[in-house]
Chain A
């Protein structure tokens, strides 16, 4: 059974600081996704990582994937209040073409305070 663990689950950080959210998973997969969810809202796709060493950046967020370590990171640079949200990583249980079956982490609730 695929397990996906995120840490931390709660993160309070000051504006302007840097931090990293970690996503560990238990099976060999090279298909990993990051989503953002605002309170009471749907999930918005942030990054799609489909190979070992993949790195994607959008604004103050950068995601990377190390399939050998079964680890993805979401790095936040110079946090601003607008980044406050819950961030989920999700892993496809199959590599290659994928299985359509994603297992989600429990989410990291990020609060950026002035």
Chain B
């Protein structure tokens, strides 16, 4: 099993550009989520999904869009990148909340917006 796979690992964008961060998991996990990590801020939840076709907002959803068409994939879209979105983005998945709820993280995607 590859676990949680994120691509790309590094990306530089100009203000106003759009892009999609990809996330895929091969563990048949119901739950997937996106967090951003900024220095001194810990991790903050952007969006999450409890299953295919179901998504919801987390703590900091503005400027981001998500969809979940399959159990395996949960892409994060930046529609018009801003410098404030410079961050490290982590995708995480979990088997089920009826289990331990333990999150398994991808390797992260480092995004710089100029």
List residues of chain A with CB within 8 A of the CB of B104: 45
Determine whether the beta carbon of A106 is less than 8 Å from that of B33. Answer: no
Instruction: Identify which of residues 65-114 in chain B touch chain A, using a CB-to-CB cut-off of 8 Å.
Output: 90, 92, 94, 97-98, 100-108
Determine how close the nearest CB of chain B comes to the CB of A97; give it in whole angstroms.
5
List residues of chain A with CB within 8 A of the CB of B105: 42-44
Determine whether the beta carbon of B42 is less than 8 Å from that of A106. Answer: yes
* A98 to B107 Cα, complex, angstroms: 25
| Among A45, A100, A105: residue with most chain B CB under 10 A | A100
Determine whether the beta carbon of B58 is less than 8 Å from that of A42. Answer: no
Determine whether the beta carbon of B90 is less than 8 Å from that of A43. Answer: yes
B53 at interface, CB cutoff 8 A:
no
Closest to B101 in A: A98
Determine whether the beta carbon of B43 is less than 8 Å from that of A104. Answer: yes
A25 at interface, CB cutoff 8 A:
no
* A106 to B43 Cα, complex, angstroms: 7
List residues of chain B with CB within 8 A of the CB of A107: 42
Contact with B along A38-64 (1 / 0, CB 8 A): 000111110010100000000000000
Q: Which residues of B contact A (CB under 8 A)?
A: 31, 33, 35, 40-45, 48, 50, 58-59, 90, 92, 94, 97-98, 100-108
A-B contact pairs, 10 of them (CB 8 A): A33-B101, A33-B102, A43-B90, A50-B100, A98-B101, A100-B101, A101-B45, A101-B58, A102-B45, A104-B35
